[in-house]
Amino acid sequence: MNAIDTLRQRAPHLRPRIAVVLGSGWEALADHLTDAVQIPYAELAGFPQPGVAGHGGSLWLGHLGAQPVAVLGGRQHGYESGAVDGMAEPLRVLKNLGCHTLVQTNAAGSLRPDMPPQSLMLLSDHLNLAQRSPLVGVGGLERFVNMVDAYDPALRAHAHRVAQSQGATLFEGVYAWAFGPQFETPAEIRMLRLLGADAVGMSTVPETILARHLGLRVLALSFITNLGAGMSAEHLSHAHTLQQAQLGSLAASRLLADIVSSLRTQ
């Protein structure tokens, strides 16, 4: 059975308008869902299979407040196999299910001393440093995607309003996609700062490109787990990223739930 039919069968009355991708540390968002149906990627044709979806590997269909949503717990990263189009089919399926907005989350390193670990940063733009595209090999003129305002200004303004109403600090800046899986060298971090990046991470950019190709509006949020390599005495590791993400995950997920549930959709 194709994935859309599986989803329609498992949650026949739910028509999600917003899709959310959970990155490292954002898993607590699933606790905010009500009436949720959880479907492992293994049951969804064309979705990244366990072992490939680095973190998690389930789709939830449910509600955040009154908002019907599809939540993707786990994405396929470029560093896992070299392929950067692993999320093409899941995003196509969610678009066909009725989603018009993609909200992405990730963990990232900060390149700004004034944006310390545990900060939240809204993406205003990105640097595709890896110079890889999930649209290579795709036909049609639509592949020449316009990337101006890829991170939707109206959605960003909405996120700032929600953060402000909660007294939460929400930074905004440019996210650089480093292919990984190794962390950056201190020289690379100095280069990224010179290039105008505010944060660095190993995800999100391919999905933003895919989403814009599909005509989805995009909002993306980074949870800052560390300062970039060489900017502090901390030893960077995946365990450190996860531990830091865990610390702030409740507050971050609550803010995200409020941002998504209060989005007006038609």
Among residues 101 and 222, whose Cβ is nearest to ligand HPA? 222
Q: For ligand HPA, which residue has the nearest CB? A: 109
* Longest pairwise C-alpha distance within the chain: 52
Among residues 101 and 104, whose Cβ is nearest to ligand HPA? 104
Which part of the chain contacts ligand HPA (CB under 6 A), choosing from 25-33, 87-95, 101-109, 139-147?
A: 101-109
Question: How far is Cα 261 from Cα 245, in angstroms, rounded to an integer?
Answer: 22
With binding defined as CB under 6 A, does residue 54 bind ligand HPA? no
The distance of closest approach from Cβ of residue 50 to ligand HPA in the complex, given in angstroms and rounded to an integer, is: 22
Among 39, 59, 84, 108, binds ligand HPA (CB under 6 A): 108
The distance of closest approach from Cβ of residue 225 to ligand HPA in the complex, given in angstroms and rounded to an integer, is: 5
Which part of the chain contacts ligand HPA (CB under 6 A), choosing from 119-127, 136-144, 167-175, 194-202?
A: 194-202
The distance of closest approach from Cβ of residue 228 to ligand HPA in the complex, given in angstroms and rounded to an integer, is: 5
Question: By C-alpha distance, which of 201, 198, 199, 220 is closest to 209?
Answer: 220
Query: Residue 232: left (phi > 0), alpha (psi -120 to 50), or beta?
Result: beta
Side-chain half-sphere of 95: how many Cα atoms within 13 Å?
Answer: 16
Binding-site size for ligand HPA (CB under 6 A) equals 14
Could you tell me the two tokens for 32? 């905010």
Among residues 68 and 109, whose Cβ is nearest to ligand HPA? 109
The DSSP symbol for 116 reads -
The amino acid present at 186, given as its one-letter code, is P
Among 78, 109, 117, 134, binds ligand HPA (CB under 6 A): 109
Question: By C-alpha distance, which of 150, 130, 29, 20 is closest to 77?
Answer: 130
Among 58, 101, 241, 249, binds ligand HPA (CB under 6 A): 241
The distance of closest approach from Cβ of residue 234 to ligand HPA in the complex, given in angstroms and rounded to an integer, is: 10
With binding defined as CB under 6 A, does residue 184 bind ligand HPA? yes
Q: State which H helix or E strand residue 106 sits in.
A: strand 101-110
* Coil/strand/helix, residue 67: strand
Among residues 52 and 231, whose Cβ is nearest to ligand HPA? 231
Could you tell me the two tokens for 190? 């100095």
Could you tell me the two tokens for 100? 């018009």
Question: How far is Cα 258 from Cα 98, in angstroms, rounded to an integer?
Answer: 21
With binding defined as CB under 6 A, does residue 206 bind ligand HPA? no
Sign of CA dihedral 90, 105, 25, 168: negative
Question: By C-alpha distance, which of 203, 167, 229 is closest to 25?
Answer: 203
Among 228, 257, 258, 260, binds ligand HPA (CB under 6 A): 228
The distance of closest approach from Cβ of residue 108 to ligand HPA in the complex, given in angstroms and rounded to an integer, is: 5
The distance of closest approach from Cβ of residue 242 to ligand HPA in the complex, given in angstroms and rounded to an integer, is: 9
Which residues here bind ligand HPA, judged by CB under 6 A?
A: 107-109, 178, 183-184, 200-202, 225-226, 228, 236, 241
